[in-house]
Amino acid sequence: MIDALVGGKLFKVAEERRAASGKTFVTANVRAADGEGEGMFVNVVAFSDSAKAALLALDDGDSLSLAGTLKIATYEARDGSVKPKVNMVAHGVLTAYHVSRKRKAIVDASTPAREGGVSREPAMADDDLSF
């Protein structure tokens, strides 16, 4: 398995399914650019609650980034050519919808506070810079 970060667009909506054991999981397909102007589909499965919720909240065509483990194989297409098959178990999902929540968490963490008699300075990211 390969630890990877994949960015792309959701192809169709994600689907929630139930295993024979009764546990739920979510499947999705993501179209990712392969760097040569071609697109590649990544078959995604998510088991963690946060990754499942993030995938289910998205619509067809929404941009996202995934972190997880990849398994790469090949298959023979109808025309006889050999194509790559990429499967991912997603552990984390990040979308544009997460940005404001993450930004708020960073700003809250950088607010000056008294801890053990020591005042923390705000992070430099909050400074206004003129260019």
Give residue 116's region: left, alpha or beta (phi > 0; psi -120 to 50).
Answer: left
Homologous superfamily of 2-113: Nucleic acid-binding proteins (2.40.50.140)
32 vs 108: which has the higher pLDDT: 32
Q: d(Cα 104, Cα 68) in Å, to the nearest integer?
A: 25
The Cβ-side half-sphere exposure at 38, using a 13 Å CA radius, reads 6
What pLDDT score was predicted for residue 112? 59
Q: What does the pLDDT look like over 15-36, one tens digit per residue?
A: 999 999 999 999 999 999 877 7
pTM: 0.71
Task: Read off the tokens for 31.
Answer: 């179209």
Q: Is the pLDDT of residue 64 over 90?
A: yes
Residue 39 phi, psi dihedral angles, 5° rounding:
-105, 150
pLDDT band at 37 (very low <50, low <70, confident <90, very high): confident
Q: Is the pLDDT of residue 118 over 80?
A: no
Listed by start position, the domains of the chain span 2-113
- Provide the 3-class DSSP secondary structure of residue 46: strand
Place of tokens 């990754």: 51
Q: Is the pLDDT of residue 106 over 50?
A: yes
Helix or strand (DSSP H, E) at 103: helix 99-109
